Structure 1
Amino acid sequence: MEQSPFDPHRIDALVFDVIGTLVDEEPAWQAAAARLASAAGLSQAAELADRWAAALNDRMDAVIAGTAAWQPHRRLVAEAASAAISSLGGTANAATIALAEGLDREYRAWPEVAEVTAALRRSRLVAGVSNGDLDALARLANTNAISWDVALSTSAVHTFKPAPAAYRYAIDELALDPTRTLFVAAHPWDLRAAARHGFRTAYVARPGAERPAPTDRFDVEAHPDLTALATLLA
């Protein structure tokens, strides 16, 4: 069923994707890949980063598809790092695995995030919903002064976005009316899945992130960052 025209005054809550949307993942991945390559005796840090990310996506997709058992995100990150190192002829050890497992705590927020999330919380419920583990989300908020009322990890339902259970979990756990909730993400795939559950959607353009397809339609597009969204909802 087609939704009614978007009205900012009818938004009671905002649900943010976290990794990539509120925090910049690329510098942390590149720095971690360089350290992993050095520890494993490899010179191909950039290729290691690419293979690591691809291996992680494959593992998460397998969990979503039901062909692999769920594991905490940090465990999949570490397994993917080990596989990427091995594929390049290196050897992972306990120290490199520990480094990989801590990656989700290393992200830094985009410059406007602390101010914008604090401003939005003055009038609306603000939540984060992430594939990251809950302890990592807590530490990211603490380190980066991210202001939200609650952060939810898809670990609670043993899957990852964009599995339908991840969005139903947010709706049920926070008693949300999706038609009055704005789902905010830098990932078009995340917004497409959220829209299928009735959420209103806001796309924020982040450097290096996937761009929308020509057929994508979002209620709001925030350029160049979340400041435009805060202005719209003020």
Structure 2
Amino acid sequence: MTRTDIDAVVFDVLGTMVDEPRGLTAAIAEAAPGADTDALLVLWQNHIEQQQDLIVRGVRGYATADELDAEAAARVCEHAGVTDFDVFGRLARAGRHHTAWPDAAAGLERLARTFPVLALSNANRSALLHLTANAGLRWHQALSAEDARTYKPAPGVYRLAVDAVGTLPERVLMVAAHAWDLRGAQAIGMKTAYVRRPVGDPPGPDDVFDWQCESLGELAEALGAE
């Protein structure tokens, strides 16, 4: 398989390009000094995952990622005894300030010299704008699940990327640190590349992805990027 088989490269953002758990942990520690940040992070993550799953399954009506983050922040503040509204507001916007992984910007820039590169994120449009700007990431196009009014791994989210590129699914490569995300892309026929991150969802024994790499630099090399 060569780079001529690929018309564009699509990247998950949260966890793949930025260290989301680290950013949330820092924001929680600032909002609730002395609290059990690990437990509060799990509380936040579980709320987001559960609510997104309900939306994907049609059990709950669509709510933006900003709205879900505000709900998660409210739960964290309640458990930690935080009542200051300004503190709550800063915590609810924590998703806009995550730090990029060390190889993210350089790897993205290298791949962008050979392929159109797109972001495809569960973050809503405004959050994605600020998140990628603050992390120093540059895309040819950034797509939000908000436009499909659902969340990954719903097929409609991945079709946003395929439709934006204007090609066949098998000519679009989805890059993620989450096996569940890549399975969703595979389900509509996209090519897949797993990039290992300390916070990702690693492939299971039955997963077969087109590439498995330790870094974006390794992926760029495998794809023959300049």
Structure 1 unpaired stretches of 5+? 1-5
2:36 is the alignment partner of 1:44: yes
RMSD: 1.7
**Whole-angstrom CA distance in 1 between matches of 2:135 and 2:72:** 26
Alignment match, 1:57? 49
Please tell me the residue identity of whatever aligns with 2:212.
Answer: E
- Does residue 136 (structure 1) correspond to residue 138 (structure 2)? The answer is no
Structure 2 unaligned regions, length at least 5 = none
Partner of 2:163: 172
Equivalent of 1:117 in 108, 111, 119: 108
| TM alignment of 1:1-234, pairs within 5 A | 6-38=1-33, 43-86=35-78, 88=79, 90-223=81-214, 225-233=215-223, 234=225
8 Å CA contact retained: 2:171, 2:190: yes
1:14 touches 1:181 (CA, 8 Å); kept in 2? Answer: yes
What SS does structure 2 have at the residue aligned with 1:109?
A: coil
Q: For 2:161 and 2:93, how far apart are their aligned partners in 1?
A: 25
Question: What is the CA–CA distance in structure 1 between the aligned matches of 2:26 and 2:221, rounded to whole Å?
Answer: 34
Letter in 1 for 2:2: D
Residues in 2 aligned to 1:89 and 1:14: alpha-carbon distance in whole angstroms: 41
CA distance in 2, matches of 1:126, 1:136: 19
Distance 1:138 1:43, change over 3 A: closer
Which amino acid in 1 is paired with 2:71? E
**Distance of 2:59 and 2:181 partners within structure 1:** 21
> In structure 2, do the counterparts of structure 1 residues 175 and 93 end up closer, same or farther at CA, with 3 Å as the change threshold?
farther
Conserved in 1, the CA contact under 8 Å of 2:97 and 2:130? no
Structure-2-length-normalised TM-score = 0.92
Aligned residues: 224
Question: Counterpart of 1:19 in 2: which secondary structure?
Answer: coil
CA 1:71–1:93: 2 relative to 1, 3 Å:
farther
